[in-house]
Structure 1
Amino acid sequence: MLAILFTAWIAWRAWDDLRAQSQQQLRAFAAEYAVEWRARLRSRQFSMLRLSRNLLADPQTTQQQLDMYLRDSPDIEGVALVDGAGRYVARSGALPPLPVGDAALTAATRAAYARCLRAPGFCVGPPVPDRRAPGHWLSLDFLPLGRLPGAQEHLVLAQAPAFPRVIGLTQQPADGMAFAILREDGLLQLRLPQTSHPPYGQPQGGVMVETLRANPRALAGVFSGPSTAVDQQLVGAFVRVPDYPFTIGANLPMRLLAEHWAAQLASTLLLFMGLIAAASWLFDSTLRQLGRTERSRAQALDGLRRQRDELDVTLSSIGDAVIATDAQGQITRMNAEAERLTGWRAAQAQGQPVAQVFRIAVEGEDSPVPCPVAQTLRSGKVAQLANHTELHSRDGRVLAIEDSAAPITGFSGEVRGAVLVFHDVTERRERSRRNERLRSLYAALAQLGEIVQQQARLGDEAELFRAACGALAQSSLFNAAWIGRPDAAGVFQLQASAGAGAQHLHQIVMRLDDPLPALSVRAWLAGELLYHNDFPSDPLNAPRRDFVVTHRWHSIAAVPLRRAGRPEAILVVTSPAYGLFQDDVRELIARIARLLGHALDEIAAHRALQQVRQREQWLALHDTLTGLPNRNMLEGQLQQAIARADAAGTLLALAYLDLDGFKSINDVYGHLIGDQVLRAVAERLRAKLPADALALRMGGDEFVLIIEGCAEVAVLEPLCTSLLEALREPMQVGSPPLRLQVDTSCGITIYPYDRESPDTLLRHADMALYAHKSRRGPLRGAFRLYDPAMARASFATSDRRVELRRMIEGGDLVLHYQPVLDRASGRIRSVEALARLRRDGALLQPEAFMRELGPMELSLLGARVRQQALADLAIWVRQGLHLGVSVNVVPQELLAADFASRVLAEVGGHPELEPGMLSLEILETEEVFGEHVVLEQLGILRHEGVRVGMDDVGSAYASLLRLKTLPVDLLKIDQAFVRDLPSHPRDRLFLDAILALGQALGIRTVIEGVETRAHLDLLLRTSADALQGYAISQALPADDIPAFVAGFRLPPRAARAYS
C-alpha cells in the first residue's frame, strides 16, 4: 500500500513539475516574442512619425516622400496619405480600398478601422484579407498627421504583411507550440502556425481570454483549460506588450504534455522499482552473511554508508563545482556541477590526474596556467587562481572561472589530499565587459555631443568632421575614423580622418563603380549602416587587405550621414577588436550618425541664415534696382570722405543729380522702361567716375556723387562736364529697343570751402541743384556750384516750416470729416478726413500751409492725421456708428520701409477697429509709384485688409499705367469731369468710360466735386459706387458726424432721381 501511495505521489509530483516547467518555458517564449513584437511596432511608429514630420514640413513634395519611404522600408508594401473620411489623398505602392466600408468584413473589423481613423496616436488595424491574392492577409497601420495648409485632418497609412517573420528568438519553439497575438478589443491579430481558415475578425473566447479578463492588470501569467479555437485542452502563458494594446500568448496541447509525462513517469518508476529490488536483495544478503553476531559491525558499516551518502548529497547540493584528490593529485570524487563544467563523468575522472581533467589557461590566450592543487599539495596551504582564468572543458567549451584549492589533512597534520572548489563566472564577466563597453560607448557619445554642439554653433563643417573623427579615434572602442563623400566623378574624397592609417588613407582610391567596392561604398549605395566583424576576411576587401591588416582594422562599420534626409557623407570607424559591432555598438554608431546629421542640418540652417542676414544688410545699404549704395550708406561714406580730405589736404565735391523729364518717360513708356533708364544711368556713372569716386541713388531719379582727391576746383569742371555729356548720350532700352535721350541737372558743393556736417552738405548740394533747375534756357543739363546766398534765401522758408511743425505737434491740428454717400443705399457709409490748422482762433485750410511743408513736416502731418482719424473712428464705433474713414498719404511716407507695419500698428491700437475700415488715398500724379518699396508696402497693407485708393483720377495722363501696376481698391474721380457736367453732356462720356473701367476691374468708384443739386440729380443715375461733395455735406467736426449720419435724408428731388 505504501509503495502504491509513494508511486502516486511521484506521478503527481512529476506532472505538477512538468506542467510548471512547461508554463515557465512558454512564458519565456511569450516574453521574448513580446519584446520582438514591441520592437517591430516601435520601429514602424517612429518611421511613420518621421514621415509625418517631413510631410508637414514640406507638403509640396508629398508624393516624392511617400515613394522614398516605400523604397527605404522593405517590410512595407504600400504607404498613403488618408483624409479623415478614409479616402486616399496620395499613395505609393499597390494599396487595396480601405476596409472601413467593406461589407464583406465583420462588423468588429470595420469598427476597429473606424477607430484607427479617429485615433489620436499610432494605431494598428486587425488583419484583413487581400482581395487581390487569396490566402494573403494585410495589416494597415495609421498615424495622425495633423492639418495640412488649406485642408482637413489627415492620417499616414502604412500597409504590411499580416504575418511578419518571427526573428530574434534565442530558442526554437518546441513541436506543437503555438503563438497568438490578441488585441485589446478582443480580436485576433496573429496566430502561428497559420491555419487554412483563421478566425480573424471575430471576438475571441477560450481559457486565455477568460484569464486576461479575470486579471486585467496582470502583465504576465499562465493558464490551462479548453480552447475554443482548436477544440482541445491547452496549457499556456501570456505576456502583455508594453506600451501597445496587445497580448502575446504561447501554448501547448495538454495531450502532448500528458504523453511526455507518461514517458517520463514510466522510466522513473522502472528505475525506482529496480533500485528497490536491488536494495532489497543487498539488504537480505547482508543480513544473511552477518547474522546476529555481526550486528555491531553492520551498524558501523551502516553508519559509514549514511555518512558517505550524506557527503554525496552535500556535494550534489553545493552550487559550486567540487573535485577532491588524494595526496598524489589523483581525483577521488567530484560532484555533478564539476561534471557539468569539466565535461567529465565522475566515474571517468576517478583516478585521473587532476591537471588532465581540470585544464585551465589565461583568458584569451592558449598559455596554460598551473593547477592550484599541485601548489596546495606542496605547500599545505590554500591556493587561488589568478584573475581572468579560463577552463577548457572536455566537450570544447571555454568557461571563465574562479577557484581555490585547500588541503585535506589527517589527525597528525599530514596532507592527505586536496579539495578544489570552482564556479562559472562567464556570464558575470561578460556582463562586466558589456557594462564597461556601454560606459565607453556613452562616454564617447557625450564627448562627441559636446563637440557637435560647439561646431554646429560655429557653422564650420570641416572642423566638425575633424573634431568628430578625432574624438572617435581617441575613444577606447575605435582605433580609426574617417569621413568622405563622392565627387561628381563618383570618387570618394576624404574630408577628415584620425587614428591608425589616417595619414595613408589618401592613397586608397574608392569609386562608386568599383567591381570590388569598399564597405564605405556599399554603405553609401545601400543608404544604411553596414559592418563587418572580421574585416580582413572580407572577400570584397581583397585589394585593400594588406592595408587593413597593417593598421589592425579588424572590425569596421560605415554609416551614411544625412543632411535634410539625403546622404551627405559617409562615416567609417574601425576597431582592433574582432566582433566589436554588436547591437549596442551599432546603435551607438547610428546615434552618432544622426547626431552628425542634425549638426549638418544646423550648419546648413546657420549658413542660410547668414546669407539672409548678409542679403538684408546689403539691401539695407543698396538700391535693389541699380545696385548702387542708397541713402542709408550716404552719411557714413561722406563722413569717411571728409576725414580723408582733411588728412590729405584735398578737395571733396558732393554732387546732387536729377534726371530732367524722367516722369514723362514713366508716364509715356511705363515703369519698366523707366527702370531700364535708371539702370543705364547707373552703369554710365560706374563707367565714367574715377576709381575713388562713389555714386549713390537717393530714390526716384535722384543720384549723389562723392568725388575725392581734387587738388583745385578747376579740375572739377571738365570732369563734371564730361560726366553729364556721357549721361546725355542717347541710350537704347526695352524690346523692341527705344532710343531715348535724358538730360541731367546737377548741383555741387565743395568741401572744405563749404565746411559743414554731412547732412548740411547734402542739403546745400540739393539747393544748388534746384537753383539750377529753376533757370530756363541753355543752362539746363549742366551744373551749378553752391552759393551761401541760396541758404539765406531758404532760411525764411525754414522758419515757416518750424512754426508749422510746432503747430502740428502742439495740438493745433484739427480734423473735419466730409461725408461720402453710398449711391446704392442712399446712406452715409464713410467719411474723408481733411486737415485744418488752428491759428489765432481761425482755421487754416490746407492750401494755406501744405505748400510750405517740407518732407519731414509732411510725414509728421500724415501720421498725425491718420492717428487722430482712427481715434475719432474708434469713438464712433463705441457709440454704435460704423463708418469707413479715408485719409490722404504723402509720398514721403510711402518711401519708408516700415510704413505698412506702422499703419497696421496704429489700427491695432484700437481693438474696436478692423483694417478694412481704413482707406489710404494717394494722388494719381505721385512719382513714388515707380519705387519697388512703395508697391511692396501697399501690397502688404492691402493683404491685411487696409483699402488703397487713387485720388484725383483723370488729373494726369497715366491712370491706365497706374491701374495696371498698383494694388488699389478705390478710384476717386477728379472733379474736373463733374464741374461742367450739367452744361457739357459730352463730359458724361468720359465719366461713364472711367466708371465702366472701374467696374470691369472690380474697383470701387467715388465721384468728387458733387457741389450742386444738379450734379447730385445727374450723378445718382450713374453706376458710381459713391458720391462726395457740398451737395451732400460740407466737412464737419468729428462731434457732428453721428447726428448728421443718423438724420441724413436725400432732398426730395434727388430722392425721386434716385428712385
Structure 2
Amino acid sequence: MSYGLFAFGWILLSDKLLFALAGSADIGWLSVVKGLFFVLATDFLLFFALCSVPAGQNIGASAIAQEMGPRRFPVWASYLFALAMSLAVLAASSTLASHFGERSLLLLFMLPVLVSALIGGLGPGLLATAFAAYSLDQTDGVAVRDWAQWGVVAVNGLAVSVLAETLQRSLRKANMQRQLLDSVISGTSDAVFVKDLRGRYLLVNRAAASLVGRQAEDIVGKDDFALFPFGIASAIRRKDRDVLRQEVATHEEQLTVAPGRTLDLLVTKGPVRNTAGHIAGLFGISRDITERKRFERELAQAAVVFDSSHQGIMVVDPGRRITRVNPAFTRITGYAPEDVIGKTPRVLSSGLHGPEFYRQIWACIERDGFWHGEIWNRRKTGEIFAEMLSISAAQGAGGEIEHYIGVFTDISHIKAHEAELERVTHYDLLTGLPNRRLLIDRLNQAMLRTAREGRSLAVCFLDLDGFKEINDLHGAAAGDALLVGVAAHLKSVLRSEDTLARLGGDEFVLLLSHIGSAEHCSTILDRVLEAASRPVPVQDRVLSVTASVGVSLYPDDQADPDLLLRHADQAMCVAKQAGRNRYQLFDPENDRKAHARRLQLGWLRQALEKGEFLLHYQPKVELGGGKLVGAEALLRWHDPRQGLRAPGEFLPFIAGSDLERPLGDWVIGEAVAQAARWFGQGLDLCVSINVSANQLLDGGFHAKMAQVLARHPDLPPHLIELEILESAAIADMEQAIQVMGQCRQLGIRFALDDFGTGYSSLTYLRKLPVQSLKIDQSFVRDMLADPDDLGIVEGVIQLASTFQLESVAEGVETPKHARRLRDMGCHVAQGYGIARPMPADQLPAWAARWQAGDNWLAHGRHMPSEA
C-alpha cells in the first residue's frame, strides 16, 4: 500500500511539475528521464527490502511454520483477479483518456499491476504488467507510442511484482515462525519469561504465570516488585543484574510464591541482545524441581537410615544376587561389601537348612511378598549364628519385582539365653541330664507314643549301691565327680530314643522306649548294670559302685506316670533287698491284664458290628460373646452288660489294635453326616473329630476323607475339624504335614489336641498346618489354684496368638475359669461348666436355650452348681 501511494504521488506530481516548468519540446525526453529515475528508485527500494529479509532461515522450521500458517488464496484465483482487473481498466481506458492526460492515464494502467502483485505475488503481477503494456498500445485517442513509457511500465511492473512477492514470503515466514515459537513457549512445562532492562516482563508463558498463581496478562508490563514481596523481588533483581554482566548462567534457587508454599527451581538466565549486539533485556527458563529435590532428600534420609541401622540389611536383585549391604551387615557377618556383592545369599548358608527350607522361603515371598522367621547362617569366620530375618519384595510401578530387601538381627544371645534357661529349667546342673520335670514330660510323650504304636515302655528306677558310704568317706566333691562319671557311663550304653534322668542324690531314672519284649528289656538292663559298675577316676583314686534297678513296663502296668515311677521304685527296693547289683520287674499281673485286654477287644469288635457305639457332642462357645461355634464328637459305648461307658474305659484297649482304624472310620463318617444334618437345619456348627496317629498316617486317609465329604456335597468342608494329639503329629512329622496339607486342600480344619503335654511343641508347631490349639484340661482344671498350670495356660494362649491360631480351652468347669481364660485372650471354651456331652438330637434344643438367654458366659450368670 505504501508503494502504491508512493507511485501515485510520483507520477501525478512529476507530470504537473513538468507541465509547469518545461516546454512542450522538452516534455518527451524529461518523461524518459523521470521514468528512469523511478526505475532506479524502485530498484533501490527492492534491494533494501531483500537485504532486510533475514538470511539463512532454517528450512525445516520454515516448512513447519508454513504448515502451521493460514492457507493462501488459490493460485488460479490470483491470476483470474489480475486478468479481470486489467480487462476492466482496458475497457475504461478509452472513456477515461478524454479526461486524463497521457501520464495520468499511465497511473491508471499501473493500478492492476500494483494490486495484483500485492494480492497474488510475482505471477499475477507480471500478467497485469503485460496487459498494462498492451493497453497502452490499444488505447484510442492517446498517443502513447514512446518506447520509454513501455519501458517504464515494464520495469516498474517487474519491480513491483518481485518486491511484493519477496515481501509476502518474508512476512509469511516471519509470522509463521513467530507462531511456531509462541506454540513452543506456550506448550512447554518450563516457565519462560523475558524482561527489559528495567525489569519489566515483556513475555511470560502459561507455565510461568501458573508458577506465581497469576494470569499472563496480569504479569506482562509489571516488574518483580509488583509481583513478589520486597525481599524476594530485591534478590531477583540482584541476580538479574549479575546475569546482565555475564553470559548464560544456570543455578538453583527457592521461590516463595505463596505463604507456606516454597518451590525449588532450576533457573537458566541470559542476556537478550538487539540487532546491534547491545543488551536489551534478559530471558529466563525456570523448571520446577520441588519433587525432585524432595525425592533427593528422601533418598539421602534413606541412605542415612541404611548406613546407621543396627540391623543388617542386604539388597538382592531379581536374579537373587546381592547388590548392596550396609555397615551393620559387615559388623554382624564379617563380610565386607566387596566380599558378597554380585554373589547370592548362599554365601551365608550355614548348611543346617535343606533345599526345601529355602524353596519354601522363596515360595512364600513370591506368594505373599514377604517372609519372616528365624534362620541359621554362617559368619565369615565360620561361626554359625542365629538371626531373625525379614525379606520383602520391592515392586516397581508396573508391579514387577525390582529387588528384594533382607533385614536381619543377630539373635545369638537370645538363643544362648533360651538354651541356658532350658538347661536350668529342665536339666540337672551337676550331670547335665534331664531333671524330674523334663522326665515327666518325656514319660507322658512316651506313654502316648507307646499307646499308639502298640509297643512297651520300660520305666527303670536306678539307685547306686554304696554311694552314701563313698560320699561320707571322700566328701561331697568326690561324690559329685562319681555321679558325673556314672552318668556318662550309663548314657554311653543307651540308645538315642532312650532317656536318662537324675532325680537327685544317687537316684536315676531310665526310660527305655520301643521295648519289644521282656527279653529285649533284660538285654538292655544287663548293659546298664555293667556300665554302672565301671570304675570312675576321681582325683587321685578310682571309685566304683553298683546299681539296683526296678522296672515297670507300660502298658502292662496300666498306670499314670507318677504311679509308674512308684512301681519302679518299689521294684528297685525289692532288688536291693535281693542282694543289690540286679534288676527287678514289677509284677502287674500281666496274664490277667492281657486276658482282660483280649476279652475287651472281642466285646468292642462285636459292639462295632452290632452298632452299639454312638456319638455324644459337647458344645464349644466363644468366650468373648458366648456364641455357639462348634461341638466335639465324643465316642460312647452302649455296653449291654454295663450300660453307657465313657471312652476312657475302652479306648486304651483299642489303641494300636486292628480295631482302631475301622472304629475311627465309623466315627468320622457318623460325625460328618451329623454335621450335614445340622447344617441342613440351619445350625452352622464346626464338628471336631478326634483322629489317632495310626488313622492319620494311614496311606489312604486323604482319599477316605474326600469320599466322606463327597457323600455330603452341601456341607461346607470348613465345618469339619480333625483333632490330633501333638505327639501324633510329631511321631512322623513329614508324613503328618503331607497328609494334613492334602486334607487342608479339601477345606478341612485341624486342631492340635492336648497342647502343652508334649515336649517338642514349640519345635514343630510352626510346621504343622493347624488352625487351633486345644489346651489340655489337666492345666485348665487347676489353673486357678496352681500358678504353674496358670503359667502354662497363659503361655499356650500367647503362643497361639503369636502364630495367629485359635486357642480352645478344655475342661472349663466354672465361670471363674471362663472369665480368667477370656481375660487371658482365649477364644473358645468347652467343658462341664458350659454343657456336658449330649446326644445329637438334644443339641439343637440346648442351642436354642443357650441363645435365648441361658448363656452364663454372655450374661455373667452362675452355673446351677454355684447358684
Higher-Rg member (1/2): 2
Does 1 or 2 have the higher relative contact order (CA < 8 Å, sep 6+)? 2
TM-score (norm 1): 0.27
